[in-house]
Chain A
């Protein structure tokens, strides 16, 4: 056993798994590759990686099914590799619990940034103060769930109940790509999953209250056509 983070790469394209294996190994990760979802799931059970990178279109068990199976047994971070034209499948994968995505063709740096962010999130979830379990600390945000008070960069802000719930949900899922559907279902319930405009309004209001400049958000980042990603501590992450 080494203390190197373990990454499982699942892709039916042998050349790409070759490149990713070498590229990731050179950055100090331990890597295994599988050629389809079925082999990927077997490797996961056998090897317990810290992170899974998976393609979507594969023979046998595809990326979507792999996400579904993995989420049934584990909270391991999943990064999805998707091609243009697979937007729908990508959103489906995120809805099924994938954490992030990279669009082909990508540079290894972009993938590595996503890998680092996902691993950091997995190893250090938002700190719940042990003494007072109603306190949520994450980056620039300090939340008292009991009194429903929030400070951003040590400044108290006033939120409506729905805005408060939305922000707490964002903080609890920091760094993860959250689809419109996921957010709507979590905040408003299953009947509202098509009502994207609700979300747009609340995110807009929330940005005005927490962002230094609502026009160029640092905390609530838009993933076009997909949803949002919350970054509680923009200083330490640079995902571009």
Chain B
């Protein structure tokens, strides 16, 4: 406000002064200029004032210029009287031209300014909208991530609490029986078999808790990008053998078919981690397919730089819309995906960990239907590897998702 006001007054002062100075200058060189030159020079000045300070200072400049023109340059000089009629016309023409040109240029300037203001306003609105949109999508992302977090927390607490519930209920049953015997309280009939059963439950459920917690730690490591890969040259068949040996107790009821291509090149991987992936896949295959059915394990070369391994079962298969989601942590197709199955389910972490390990090796993992469209076939690829990469062992797994 204040600066506008000062600016306006400054405009008026400049209008008067500039006309004065210009008149003085023209007067000094007066001998060489005629009335037309003077009027053009003064008009120019009016235009300058109009474009710089707007219509009112321009109007003032026009009037002062007209007076000066009359006083100094139209005979008789030094008076405001005008002798000749054509000089009256010249003066009038000057005044009209000055005022009109001044007002036109001032309004042109004003319109330009308005257009500029409009443009700035639009820019500001756009920026505001964009900010608002960004804030909204940020808030949405945050809300989603909170929702996800609470869903994960629910899943984790459920998985911790379920075994704990069985353990606690078993222990209080056993405790009551012992106390009852010692203190002669109301009888709790626990035969030897039942006692063993309670203790078995405690044993198995403690193992389950322990497995779950190990899985959590491993997952956390992968997500933090702290999976330390110890890459060494190794043989694919040895990796598979190690996994099979470990899986022997769970695959006893199944028929295992092994199909490893001859003369596979060595791979530069973390053997323990890749063997863990194979084990997880075999474990899943055994868990979710009928006893007596076949589990097929295969390894072959896929192109110049990749090894492809697969584990296939003859179970119910995984519907295509769930084939991505089963790699999400804590997602269990049998529980969350409406697949009817009352077999004990896993922790919902195995495939998430497997994916983390495969991706840390710059490989990919996916699920397809088994041969003949039945069952589940989990396939993963690994780059054969390269001796040049020396710093690999120190580098945290870059391809593992971090959040």
Q: Which residues of A approach B to under 8 Å, CB–CB?
A: 12-16, 18-20, 22-23, 25-28, 35-36, 57, 59-60, 83-85, 104-109, 111
Given contacts A14-B342, A28-B189, A106-B168, contact A19 B161 (CB under 8 A): no
Chain A residue nearest to B336 (CB atoms) is A59
- 16 pairs, A vs B, C-beta closer than 8 Å: A12-B342, A15-B204, A15-B205, A16-B166, A19-B170, A19-B198, A23-B173, A26-B177, A36-B342, A59-B338, A85-B154, A104-B162, A104-B164, A105-B164, A106-B168, A109-B172
A164 to chain B, nearest CB (A): 40
B152 to chain A, nearest CB (A): 12
Which chain A residues lie closer than 8 Å to B189 at the CB level? 25-28
Which chain A residues lie closer than 8 Å to B334 at the CB level? 59
The complex places the Cα of A108 from the Cα of B201 at a distance, in Å, of: 14
The complex places the Cα of A12 from the Cα of B165 at a distance, in Å, of: 13
Which chain A residues lie closer than 8 Å to B177 at the CB level? 26
Chain B residue nearest to A18 (CB atoms) is B201
Query: B190 at interface (Cβ–Cβ under 8 A)?
Result: yes
B398 to chain A, nearest CB (A): 35
Chain A residue nearest to B197 (CB atoms) is A22
Interface SS of A by simple majority: loop
CB interface residues, B 341-397, toward A, < 8 Å: 341-342, 344
Q: Which residues of B approach A to under 8 Å, CB–CB?
A: 153-154, 157-158, 161-170, 172-173, 176-177, 188-190, 194, 197-198, 201, 204-205, 334-335, 338, 340-342, 344
Contact A108 B176 (CB under 8 A): yes
The complex places the Cα of A59 from the Cα of B341 at a distance, in Å, of: 9
Contact B157 A19 (CB under 8 A): no
Top 7 A-B pairs ranked by shortest CB distance?
Answer: A107-B172, A105-B165, A23-B173, A15-B166, A104-B165, A108-B172, A105-B168
Contact B338 A26 (CB under 8 A): no
A120 to chain B, nearest CB (A): 16
The complex places the Cα of A25 from the Cα of B177 at a distance, in Å, of: 12
Contact A19 B162 (CB under 8 A): no
Which chain A residues lie closer than 8 Å to B335 at the CB level? 59
Contact A106 B157 (CB under 8 A): no
Chain B residue nearest to A60 (CB atoms) is B340
- How many contacting A-B pairs (Cβ < 8 A)? 91
A225 to chain B, nearest CB (A): 17
The complex places the Cα of A59 from the Cα of B176 at a distance, in Å, of: 33
Partner of A27, one of B163, B168, B188: B188
Partner of A19, one of B201, B340, B341: B201
Which chain B residues lie closer than 8 Å to A27 at the CB level? 188-189
The complex places the Cα of A85 from the Cα of B154 at a distance, in Å, of: 7
Partner of A109, one of B164, B176, B190, B197: B176
Which chain B residues lie closer than 8 Å to A26 at the CB level? 173, 177, 188-190, 194
Contact B163 A15 (CB under 8 A): yes
Contact A106 B176 (CB under 8 A): no
Contact B161 A104 (CB under 8 A): yes
Which chain A residues lie closer than 8 Å to B341 at the CB level? 59
Contact B338 A19 (CB under 8 A): no
Which chain B residues lie closer than 8 Å to A104 at the CB level? 161-162, 164-165
Which chain A residues lie closer than 8 Å to B164 at the CB level? 104-105
Which chain A residues lie closer than 8 Å to B205 at the CB level? 15
Chain B residue nearest to A28 (CB atoms) is B189
Partner of B173, one of A22, A36, A105: A22
Contact A111 B169 (CB under 8 A): yes
Chain A residue nearest to B205 (CB atoms) is A15
The complex places the Cα of A57 from the Cα of B332 at a distance, in Å, of: 14
A153 to chain B, nearest CB (A): 29
Chain A residue nearest to B343 (CB atoms) is A14
Which chain B residues lie closer than 8 Å to A28 at the CB level? 189
Contact B204 A19 (CB under 8 A): no
Which chain A residues lie closer than 8 Å to B154 at the CB level? 85
Which chain B residues lie closer than 8 Å to A19 at the CB level? 166, 169-170, 173, 198, 201
